[in-house]
Chain A
């Protein structure tokens, strides 16, 4: 129910007194209301929930946290105990197999 999806704003306009946008999610474009993020400009990514943009995606923050996660083991490899690879790896790969892209 609280599903919200990040999409790229490709057009902004006014409609019946409301600030609106066309937002692209992968191959699908839908209308979203921008009243709660009135400063949004074309090209930015917003999080859309039931036809309303509720938050702007902070690109720098997204990059920073993802890089931090990727580097996790590099930070700890010196003092980390040996991890049973046979346990960690096959389970992790289920993420990739199981996705349907929703």
Chain B
């Protein structure tokens, strides 16, 4: 397909890696922010192509993974109601709550439907006027314009039977939380290309400056990711820390302004709890009060649910780039995509699920696997390329 196939060219990939070897003089730790990038990296073995000492750690950018268990339990409690048609993107259906998943609820007679677009909920609502249509509105900034349009149209068309259960998360506060942590190992970021297609990248400029960390907004195909790594390593080697745009065929600094405008009319910034990480101030969206009639959290009396995560799970440290799946004793044994114990295994874009899907649990951990909490050592003379 045009604009995909040419970014999967093995010959060009080899050239980018060769250029990386040419400029690299010491080890660097980079984080790819987005779960889609993690998936592409593991699927294509990009982390294993990189020169020794250029290490990728996997970021928190999988909205399904970081949706807190309490919110999933709330969704399930609404989905079980006989008067509700519960609509969701497909990747949320398999995520277990404290008691089963949406598939279980569907097999027990609940009306749970997968939608391609949030706008599908309007069609379902028109066809089922006696039912409450509840949409599980999760996602990062990429998905916010689509979810905002559903709320906007529901209010405009006075559709009293349409509501949204909102659990939206934002990337920049999560990057700040990672960089501000005393345990942080990350020196540069591959920024989230599709989030920035909507929001632009100006909000990353002060973060990059404050923490002196390069942020290169990057796409999702193998060549995009390799070029993003090359641009980040180049900045690190030159002692620069600015925001650069690898994904210029898709986005510019200002992003999609009409989309930002509707997001601003429908949502307001709020604190949000991230599964595996905890509450990050101002890191999510909630519906503005003008949309209270379409806010499922207000419409359905869902009591606060106390949840417990398994103690063995290290997904919080994986999401912050401190550990990797192989560091977890449960990875691939007690914890699998069929029986996930925590955030990074619940969705295909989580680091643990991606490692599992591409057979990484069958192999021993690579030799340059990180040692938890160890700072990268300075390279020996001529090092970094051994």
Contact = CB atoms under 8 A, between A and B. Distances in A.
Contacts of B142: 1-2, 4, 49, 54
A50 B195 contact: no
A92 B223 CA distance: 11
Given A1-B139, A52-B145, A91 B7 contact: no
Contacts of B259: 36, 54
Interface in B1-56: 1-4, 6-19, 21-22, 34-36, 43-45, 48-49
Nearest to B35: A1
Interface in B99-157: 116-120, 122, 138-140, 142-143, 145-146, 149, 153
Nearest to A53: B256
A1 B282 CA distance: 21
B143 A92 contact: no
B36 A3 contact: yes
Nearest to B139: A1
Interface stretch (B234-242, B244-252, B288-296): B244-252
B62 interface: yes
Contacts of B192: 2
A25 B10 CA distance: 23
B14 A1 contact: no
A23 to B, nearest CB: 12
Contact of B118 (A16, A50, A66, A73): A50
B349 interface: yes
Contacts of A99: 8
A90 B370 CA distance: 25
Contacts of A52: 117, 145-146, 149
Interface string A33-71: 101111000000101011110110111011001100110
A92 B64 CA distance: 31
B315 interface: no
A55 B197 contact: yes
B119 A61 contact: no
Interface of B: 1-4, 6-19, 21-22, 34-36, 43-45, 48-49, 61-64, 89, 91, 116-120, 122, 138-140, 142-143, 145-146, 149, 153, 192, 194-195, 197-198, 220, 222-223, 227, 246, 248-251, 256, 258-259, 262, 347, 349
22 contacts: A1-B35, A2-B36, A6-B2, A30-B116, A31-B117, A33-B119, A45-B3, A50-B118, A54-B198, A55-B256, A57-B250, A62-B3, A65-B227, A65-B246, A69-B16, A69-B227, A70-B15, A80-B18, A80-B22, A94-B10, A94-B49, A96-B8
Given A1-B138, A92-B13, 7 more contacts: A36-B145, A36-B259, A54-B197, A57-B249, A61-B248, A81-B22, A92-B10
